[in-house]
Amino acid sequence: MQANVTSGALPLTIAIDGPAAGGKTTVGAMLAKRLGYLCLDTGIMYRAVTWQALNEGLAPEDEPAVTLLAESIEIDVKPASKDDGRAFDVLIDSEDHTWDIRLPEVNQNVSLVSSYLGVRRAMTLQQRKIAARGRIVMLGRDIGTVVLPDADLKIYLDASLEVRARRRFEEENQHGTTITYAEILTSLRRRDEIDSSRQHAPLKIAEDAVVINTDALTAAQVVDKIISLFPHPLSPIP
Ligand code: CDP
């Protein structure tokens, strides 16, 4: 597969897609920092809609109500205001819900909520507006296929289910959660199944994406690999 990088110019829009816990967040943040680009993790937006729906007592199965909510919710990402392991603050209607959107009940319901066409339309609209400014690394499931089909560079980050579950287990452990490895494995498998088989914007590899399997790579190695795809490779970090 071929990257769609314009010859002689840095890619201004970089799409990174892939399954749950595939390392997009870490890699995307590192890459964006190295380039001085904005990193938008679109998973946050679907998580925010899901958390807010649950918080308002809506049934996640209530598609019309959840869609209305998605059309009016205000989601913002700001630099980290606390030193508690967060990479940034996630604000929902101006309130800090950075950790709430990672709760197990959000993990359980986010793929259902993300399968609704109206929810996807509302989120895609916001994502395209942000990307129009350029100099962006956007992370998700459908960025290269639907949100930014003309992205300058498309990456699909893959890893085996076991490696992904182990990484997520270690992350959860650091935050003191008591969830087991087996529970994480089951939850990731279920989410991948729903995300890949849904009717609207399913998780799939864009035709012109470069697939990178991260099983045996550190995040820094993945970033180097991505940068090596650029027409004029950046100089290595001193
Ligand atoms: O961080 P993790 O890999 O666990 O997932 P995430 O990127 O935070 O995404 C959470 C969920 O949002 C996914 O399982 C998808 O159901 C949904 N999602 C989506 O449908 N489309 C996107 N562009 C991003 C996330």
Rounded Cα distance between 206 and 109, Å, is 26
Q: List, in sequence order, every residue forming a beta bridge with 92; answer none if it has no partner.
A: 75, 95
What does the pLDDT read at residue 6?
Answer: 47
CA of 219 to the centre of ligand 1 (A): 19
Work out the mean pLDDT of the chain and round it to a whole number: 91
Q: How many CA atoms lie within 13 A of 37 on its CB side?
A: 27
Helix, coil or strand: residue 13: strand
What does the pLDDT read at residue 10?
Answer: 86
The second-level CATH assignment, the architecture, of 1-37+134-226 is 3-Layer(aba) Sandwich (3.40)
40 pLDDT above the threshold of 90: yes
Whole-model pTM over 0.85? yes
Query: What average pLDDT does the segment 15-32 reach?
Result: 94
CA of 49 to the centre of ligand 1 (A): 12
Query: Would the CATH topology of 1-37+134-226 be identical to that of 43-133?
Result: yes
The second-level CATH assignment, the architecture, of 43-133 is 3-Layer(aba) Sandwich (3.40)
- DSSP code of residue 145: I
Rounded Cα distance between 27 and 25, Å, is 6
Nearest-atom index, ligand 1, CA of 44: 8
Query: What average pLDDT does the segment 44-69 reach?
Result: 98
Q: Order of strands across the sheet with 88-92?
A: 75-79, 88-92, 95-96
Q: So where are the chain's domains?
A: 1-37+134-226, 43-133
Q: Quick: pLDDT tens for 168-224.
A: 999 888 877 888 999 999 999 999 999 999 999 999 999 999 999 999 999 999 999
Q: Quick: pLDDT tens for 132-141.
A: 989 999 999 9
Q: Quick: pLDDT tens for 75-95.
A: 988 888 999 888 889 999 999
Q: Please work out whether the CB of residue 155 comes within 6 Å of at least one atom of ligand 1.
A: no
What does the pLDDT read at residue 7?
Answer: 45
Residue 39 pLDDT class (50, 70, 90 cuts): very high
Q: Which amino acid residue places its CA nearest to atom 8 of ligand 1?
A: 43
Q: Please work out whether the CB of residue 60 comes within 6 Å of at least one atom of ligand 1.
A: no
